[in-house]
Chains A and B, each alone.
Chain A
């Protein structure tokens, strides 16, 4: 019984804090209240996630809310990203306030929208009703729009406009897809009122009209794909990521993109069952994945701005994750593992870019050279996360990319394999060529060394250590959790062979 209340709390708590926190009189109090709210939500969330992995799915509100292994896995990543980003936001905005770049009004706006965004993303993950899931995504878009221009400049307004318009249209397409899915389910027992529930849709998947379901998936893929930053619908992404304040870029890249991808993945088992297991939707996913990898790689080479570089890197990594899902079987396991690794790593790299950017006064990579001499902590954080992002062993991203390669090989998808390797190779060279001068280049004299606080050391050290540890050894409970999540996407996923799980027990 009490588990149902936790489910409500994950969604309602941050919403309430988002409404109340801006009423505090001082900026520190507002940010403190926000931090407390995020911690409380995380506490409820992790209790719930533990319960789901031990005892099975939790549902409430006559099945409208439901948390199963797949959504619990994503919820865990969401909470980790938000916890880290909220701690970082505390440090980041402290500096902004000292520099007089942040008004009380902006802090209020930020705290309200930040908690609202957490609530909306949690709603996406816990809703079993596909229309409510859509409402959550739309709310995410609208709430995060003004987070981009916490600092009002011409560039940030431009980025915000592109973000609202392109994503609103994408989300409208996704709604068209949701409607088509509902239309294909009209023959099911209980009518459309029940059929929009994901569990019902999956039960009756064999009776769905395959033509309508295919049309629905096309709309959903393009619609949610826009929000997930899959190429060629990614054009809003580099602008929004580069203009938003660093904590916001971190949640955008660290989890918002994955939320949209999660929505697509929810439909995969239904469409697969409706089309008789033909692999049609998986091939589409793999195609979009490979294309995103290539587009991301091509643009990474020409970037001058660090945050834009990281944004294109997100396009590439979302492509890798999508490719993993598209390969099916072991690929799904690898994609889910890669989701965690990428979120941890990208969050850290945006933190470092933002913090260093505050001292250099720019995100231009020419001006940010020699970051190691300005701040050892953040220099190491940036360099370490960039190394992990390009797939250097023994970081966990290397392992999950290797697993996806293995899945492609098993699947006989040689073209995807070659294109993925080519894209990853270009990214490796392109980013390493930037990362080395960023770390050790000659610093301009205007910037003096800065000491990092304890909190900053913590935010840098924890993700790096976790990424290293996961690359060397995967704990059994983690492996079981990912396997449980993967089985929801593809029920046929057999227990994963331990050959490619570093240190995994047989």
Chain B
């Protein structure tokens, strides 16, 4: 069981690095969808107890939302906004990957200084790394869409941490969380749509009228 979890965490780490280096928006969305499916499987593996209907529901919900619905919404936003261009970074791809290496170092160090899940040494670092990657994507990329994508990655990191490190939290709470993230993405989607309609672009760095 633990071997599978470690493999999943390695895949999560690799997908984070891929997100930092990728230049094509639709591929990035694909990677985030992959993370979503991975997390659904991880939710099944990480709990110690046997397969309960509640656990199954959460895993299925995760896969459907994170692996299917969000990527679909984002792809539709791309189509409606008519974006064919690439990601347009503030920070170039090579420096981004280098920053990723530094973040990974910090994540591993932090993960080992927190007294959590000593049996699975990769889980906490991988979740922290995913959180940092999301934060980096939000700050270092220009378009509103990729910032939304970054927010999703950040959420994935926190989700991993929640499932692995905390274990059982009441189903109602988990439901609330999934629902919240869903509405967040929906709201961001509508915001992007409106911004696009009003400005004819969704480059967040050109949203710069308000200062001081």
Contact = CB atoms under 8 A, between A and B. Distances in A.
B99 to A, nearest CB: 18
Contacts of B209: 154-155, 158
B170 interface: yes
Given A157-B194, A161-B191, A192-B168, A138 B207 contact: no
A164 B135 contact: no
A303 interface: yes
Given A132-B173, A142-B183, A162 B207 contact: yes
B119 interface: no
A145 interface: yes
Contacts of B116: 183, 212
Given A155-B210, A169-B154, A193-B169, A145 B144 contact: no
Interface string B148-191: 00010011001001100111111001001100100110011011
Contacts of A172: 151, 154-155, 158
B169 A169 contact: no
B167 A242 contact: no
B166 A179 contact: yes
Interface string B59-90: 00000000000000000000000000000000
B162 A179 contact: yes
Interface in B105-151: 113-116, 131, 135, 138, 144, 147, 151
Interface in A201-220: 209, 211-212, 215
Given A135-B180, A142-B184, A157-B195, A179 B207 contact: no
Interface in A133-167: 135, 138-139, 142, 145-146, 149, 152, 154-155, 157-162, 164-165
A165 B147 contact: yes
Contacts of B22: none
Contacts of A338: none
Contacts of B53: none
B210 A303 contact: no
Contacts of B210: 155, 158-159, 162, 238-239, 242-243
Contacts of A180: 165
B161 A169 contact: no
Contacts, number: 118
A129 to B, nearest CB: 7
B184 A168 contact: yes
Nearest to A209: B115
A175 interface: yes
A215 B194 contact: no
A157 B166 contact: no
A16 interface: no
B158 A179 contact: yes
A182 interface: yes
A131 B138 contact: no
Nearest to A165: B147
Given A142-B183, A154-B209, A303-B212, A179 B115 contact: no
Contacts of B170: 131, 193, 196
A362 interface: no
A142 B185 CA distance: 10
Contact of A142 (B135, B147, B187): B187
A196 B191 contact: no
Given A131-B176, A157-B195, A211-B115, A145 B187 contact: yes
Contact of A179 (B165, B187, B198, B212): B165
Contacts of B169: 131, 182, 192-193, 196
B32 to A, nearest CB: 15
A299 interface: yes
A169 B158 contact: no
A446 B207 CA distance: 32
A308 interface: yes
Contacts of B198: 152, 154, 157
A237 to B, nearest CB: 11
A132 B208 CA distance: 35
A193 B168 contact: yes
A161 B207 contact: yes
Given A179-B165, A193-B168, A129 B194 contact: no
Interface string A166-178: 0011001001100
Contacts of A158: 195, 207-210
Interface of B: 113-116, 131, 135, 138, 144, 147, 151, 154-155, 158, 161-162, 165-170, 173, 176-177, 180, 183-184, 187-188, 190-191, 194-195, 198-199, 204, 207-210, 212
13 contacts: A131-B173, A138-B180, A142-B183, A146-B187, A154-B209, A158-B209, A186-B166, A192-B169, A193-B169, A196-B169, A238-B210, A238-B212, A308-B212
